[in-house]
Amino acid sequence: MTQSVSHGEDYQPVFDGKIMDELQTVLQRYPTKQAALLPTLWIAQREHGWISDRIMAEVAEVLGLTPAYVKGVVTFYTMYHQHPVGKNFVQVCTTSPCNICGAEAVMKALLEQTGAQDAGATSADGKWTIVEVECLGACGFATPVLVNDDFLESVTPEKVPEIVKKYR
Amino acid sequence: MGYPHKPHPKETVVLSQHFGDVEARTHKGWVKRGGYEALAQALKLEPAAVTDVVKESGLRGRGGAGFPTGLKWSFMPKEKKRPHYLCVNADESEPGTFKDREIMRWTPHALLEGTAIAAHAIRAEVAYIYIRGEFTEPWTIIERALAEANAAGVFGTIKVYLHRGAGAYICGEETALMNSIEGKRGNPRIKPPFPAAAGLFGMPTTINNVETLAAVPHILTRGAAWYKGLCLSNPKSTGTKLFSVCGNVQRPGNYEVTMGFPLKDLLYDMCGGPPAGRTLKACIPGGSSVPILTREETEACLLDYEGVVEKGSMLGSGGVIVFDDSADMVYQIMRLARFYAHESCAQCTQCREGTAWTTKIMERILAGQGKTKDLDLLLDLSENMTGKTICVLSDSCAAPVVSGIKKFRGEFEAYLAGKRPVPVMVS
Ligand SMILES: Cc1cc2nc3c(=O)[nH]c(=O)nc-3n(C[C@H](O)[C@H](O)[C@H](O)COP(=O)(O)O)c2cc1C
Ligand code: SF4
Ligand code: FES
């Protein structure tokens, strides 16, 4: 399949200069280019905030894959954002062990106090997206909350105002 | 040690000795504590000799299945014709399980040392440590430790790389994990071929859990006989095990005990039992994928592979989930079913449809719209989900449902009769 990706006038490729060098070091870790797909998508998301169709096409190009293949992989994993998210992307575990320790109340407090209102929605000021996720692997520290890359332990509704203030 | 709590005198502290000790995270601090002696020792031995020591110790896989580790290593080709790989499973996503995270946070070099020893034993030149995407802190700590270890040249010709997951419980299944490293969707593969014949990139591969590998350096320095001697009940279960305890207990956390230790002592003596005024109702002893135990079964259960099976469940990953008398078992089992429905990779009809329908029927029961025949329907569905799919995620969904209906039928029937089985919890 040949594809010519129309990036549009204003599109700034992610994989250029220093980022391209970073990609080269990633590629050295694997015997195939395809195997670099997950780390490459991580780099793209770090640089661009989310994985757009254009980014998928660019990733496909640099790794010699098709855009459709890349999309198939992106959609399998929950951590690649297929839409823009708020400045603070907040993941709250609500699986059974955390549920019995009060995760629901933490979720409720976060939704109310950030103005995000609905799980998955972004607050009007663009600052917050709060999502419910399955087990974060820290069940003894209920309720674990991941704010961007910061892993917070033992969050209770009482601690929510402090968190909202810190990341606002 | 009972991280985050003080060590308890009934613990046998081996893997968790340095939990909470920041200095142990550094290469220098690790070497000061006797670290990397086991690796130096192993590199002087023939690979087969290292495997023999591990075989002799009785160590079994801590990722869930309990497969003998030395035996697994011995399945790798004796004569090396193609590249060999080691995969380290740090995907820890099974509800109730949070021990690997603690090992990586506090003793990253224990994992790296165990990884290098295993790589030597199976003649692998490359090891990939697959860390779940959400484990940002363990990632940073391991990354730093790896850079230090590389700078110190401790691995010789063995290369160790980190690979970050991106949110998918199923990637903890060994062949799904390999697909995920290869840059594919994390679908489990049909076995055979088994990984030792054709695993990562189609090459002979061994995969081990973090806790399994962290135990290996101790076995080499202290000897197989010492490890084998750590046994309180069945001789087929040796060594120490980290149990992650969560849910309705006063002191949740990781506790390390000798195999065969009474579950009752773990829950009451170490974890302080259920919150004041509450009593224990049920317990899932090995991560959410294993059958639920009643209070009576829990209090009579010995924590080793055979002891938990004797009581009708499995040791699994050692993630212990405790429910007190305020827990609504129907609701909690629905949450677990929902977890599996969300995490099914959807390749197998029985799993894709079964997990979704189980969740739907449970939700209907909870909404007061259940029908009398729903319990039989759930059991029938579960039977069709067990032993029929590519991997055991499907069986894992059925385990809490079947055991739940059997042991807490009254709570299900209360919903069917239009009542709530336990007082509504304010949350
Ligand atoms: C659905 C599913 C999820 C799994 N998740 C994990 C996991 O997160 N971590 C892990 O070590 N093993 C997990 N396993 C078990 C692995 O497939 C494999 O047995 C294990 O990593 C082997 O290592 P061990 O022999 O050292 O235990 C999972 C299995 C299944 C079926
Ligand atoms: S049992 Fe479920 S998770 Fe496992 S391979 Fe089949 S569909 Fe995927
Ligand atoms: S159930 Fe919430 S972190 Fe595991």
pLDDT in tens, chain B (427 residues): 567 778 899 999 999 999 999 999 999 999 999 999 999 999 999 999 999 999 999 999 999 999 999 999 999 999 999 999 999 999 999 999 999 999 999 999 999 999 999 999 999 999 999 999 999 999 999 999 999 999 999 999 999 999 999 999 999 999 999 999 999 999 999 999 999 999 999 999 999 999 999 999 999 999 999 999 999 999 999 999 999 999 999 999 999 999 999 999 999 999 999 999 999 999 999 999 999 999 999 999 999 999 999 999 999 999 999 999 999 999 999 999 999 999 999 999 999 999 999 999 999 999 999 999 999 999 999 999 999 999 999 999 999 999 999 999 999 999 999 988 776 543 3
Query: Is the Cβ–Cβ distance between B96 and B245 less than 8 Å?
Result: no
Domain around A145: 88-167
Q: Which residues of A touch B200 (CB under 8 A)?
A: none
Query: Is the Cβ–Cβ distance between B267 and B298 less than 8 Å?
Result: yes
Ligand 3 center to residue A105 CA distance, Å? 15
Query: Is the Cβ–Cβ distance between B231 and B258 less than 8 Å?
Result: yes
Best of A46, A96, A106 to mutate (most B CBs within 10 Å, chain B): A96
Residue A57 and residue A107 in one domain: no
- Burial of B197 (C-beta count, 10 Å sphere; 0-12/13-18/19+): middle
Phi, psi of B390 (to 5 degrees): -65, -45
Residue A72 and residue A24 in one domain: yes
Nearest CA to A3 out of A50, A56, A46 is that of A56
Q: How far is A144 from chain B (nearest CA, A)?
A: 11
For residue A94, being part of any structural domain is answered with yes
Residue A68 and residue A104 in one domain: no
CATH number of the domain residue A27 falls in: 1.10.10.1590
Q: Which of A76, A103, A125 is the last residue of a domain?
A: A76
Q: Which residues of A touch B288 (CB under 8 A)?
A: 95-96, 135
Query: Measured in whole angstroms, how far is the alpha carbon of residue A12 from the centre of its chain?
Result: 21
Residue A145 and residue A94 in one domain: yes
Residue A21 and residue A51 in one domain: yes
* Res. A36: pLDDT tops 60: yes
Please work out, in degrees rounded to the nearest 5, the angle formed at the alpha carbon of residue B398 by the alpha carbons of B392 and B399: 90
Q: What pLDDT does residue B244 have?
A: 98
Q: What pLDDT does residue A9 have?
A: 61
**Cα torsion at B85, B86, B87, B88 (round to 10°)?**
-160
Q: Do B246 and A38 touch (CB under 8 A)?
A: no
The total number of structural domains that make up chain A:
2
Ligand 1 center to residue B170 CA distance, Å? 9
Residue A71 and residue A114 in one domain: no
Q: Do B168 and A139 touch (CB under 8 A)?
A: no
Please give the average per-residue pLDDT across A33-45, as a whole number. Answer: 98
* Res. A3: pLDDT tops 90: no
Beta strands in chain A (DSSP E): 88-93, 128-133, 145-147, 150-152
Nearest CA in chain A to B340: A134
Residue A59 and residue A111 in one domain: no
User: How far apart are the C-alpha atoms of B103 and B254, rounded to whole Å?
Assistant: 10
Q: How far is A9 from chain B (nearest CA, A)?
A: 30
For residue A142, being part of any structural domain is answered with yes
Of B133, B323, B336, the CB nearest to A79: B133
- Burial of B287 (C-beta count, 10 Å sphere; 0-12/13-18/19+): buried
Residue A101 and residue A152 in one domain: yes
Give pTM, 2 decimals. Answer: 0.96
For residue A40, being part of any structural domain is answered with yes
For residue A7, being part of any structural domain is answered with no
For residue A9, being part of any structural domain is answered with no
| Ligand 3 pocket check for B95: Cβ under 6 Å | yes
Of A39, A95, A138, the CB nearest to B335: A95
Query: Tens digit of pLDDT for each residue in B259-290?
Result: 999 999 999 999 999 999 999 999 999 999 99
Please choose from B91, B246, B343 the residue to mutate so as to test ligand 3's pocket, defined by most ligand atoms within 8 A of CB. Answer: B246
Ligand 1 atom showing the smallest separation from residue B67 Cα: 25
CATH number of the domain residue A162 falls in: 3.40.30.10
Q: Do B96 and A102 touch (CB under 8 A)?
A: no
Q: Which residues of B touch A140 (CB under 8 A)?
A: 4, 98, 244-246, 252-254
For residue A1, being part of any structural domain is answered with no
For residue A3, being part of any structural domain is answered with no
Residue A93 and residue A159 in one domain: yes
Of A29, A38, A141, the CB nearest to B166: A38
Q: Which of A28, A49, A76 is the last residue of a domain?
A: A76
**What residue's CA is closest to ligand 1, atom 22?**
B208
ipTM: 0.95
Q: What pLDDT does residue B425 have?
A: 46
Residue A4 in tokens: 């010519």
**CA distances (Å), B363 to each of A7, B260, B326, B332, B409, in order?**
46, 38, 19, 11, 16
Residue A162 and residue A115 in one domain: yes
Residues with Cβ within 8 Å of A63's Cβ and at least 6 positions away in sequence, in order, are A33, A34, A36, A37, A40, A70, B183
Nearest CA in chain B to A73: B185
For residue A81, being part of any structural domain is answered with no
Residue A29 and residue A51 in one domain: yes
Q: What pLDDT does residue B420 have?
A: 84
- Residue in the block written with tokens 């005024």: B277
* Res. A4: pLDDT tops 70: no
Share of chain A above pLDDT 70, in %: 95
Give me the numbers of helices (H) and strands (E) for chain B, helices first please. Answer: 18, 11
**CA distances (Å), A24 to each of A34, B287, B288, in order?**
13, 39, 40
| Ligand 3 pocket check for A139: Cβ under 6 Å | yes
Residue A63 and residue A113 in one domain: no
3-state class (DSSP) for residue B312: coil
User: Quick one: pLDDT band at residue A12, thresholds 50, 70, 90?
Assistant: confident
